Amino acid sequence: MSVVSQRKVTSLWVTRSDRSPVSFHTSAGADFSTERISSGLVRVAVAGELDMRNAPALRSYAGDQMHPSSRLVLDLSDVEFFGSAGLTVFDELDTLARRRSSRWALVGGRPVHRLLRVLGDPVHAHASLESAIHALRVPA
C-alpha cells in the first residue's frame, strides 16, 4: 500500500483478523475510519481537526455508516480541535437515527467536551468507547 500524500488518500479498505473490514477516509485535516464492532454496531473514529472544512464530509461519511436499526458510536476522542461546525454532524446523526430507527452515541475528547460544556451540554459525550458501547447495548 502506498500513499501519495498524507492528506490525499480518499478511501481504503483493510481486512483485520480481529474485527470486520475497516474503511478509511481523509478530508482536509481529519482522518475518518469505520470499524464494525459487532453485528449492527459500528464505530466511526475521527482523528485530527474537525471544522467547517471537513464537517460536511464527516456528516456524509458517518451518515453512510448508519443503517436501519443499527447503532453507531461517533468516536471523537482523537480530535485535536473541534469547531462549532462539528455540531452539524450531531444534528445530522440525530435526524438519520430517527428516520432509520437507529441509535448513536458520542465519545468526546477534551476539545469536544470543552465546546459542549460551553453550550450547556446539548449532547451527552461519553468519556470512553466502552461507556458509549454499553449505552447503545441497553434498550432505549
Domain ranges of the chain: 12-137
The whole-model pTM stands at 0.84
Secondary structure of the chain as H, E, C letters: CCCCCCCCCCCEEECCCCCCCEEEEEECCEEEEEEEEECCEEEEEEEEEECCCCHHHHHHHHHHHCCCCCEEEEEEEEEEEECHHHHHHHHHHHHHHHHHCCEEEEEECHHHHHHHHHCCCCCCEECCHHHHHHHHHCCC
Give the pLDDT score at 21.
Answer: 52
Each of the 140 residues of the chain gets a pLDDT tens digit; together they read: 433 334 333 333 433 445 555 788 999 899 999 999 999 999 999 999 999 999 999 999 999 999 999 999 999 999 999 999 999 999 999 999 999 999 999 999 999 999 999 999 889 999 999 999 999 998 87
Q: Which homologous superfamily is 12-137 in?
A: STAS domain (3.30.750.24)
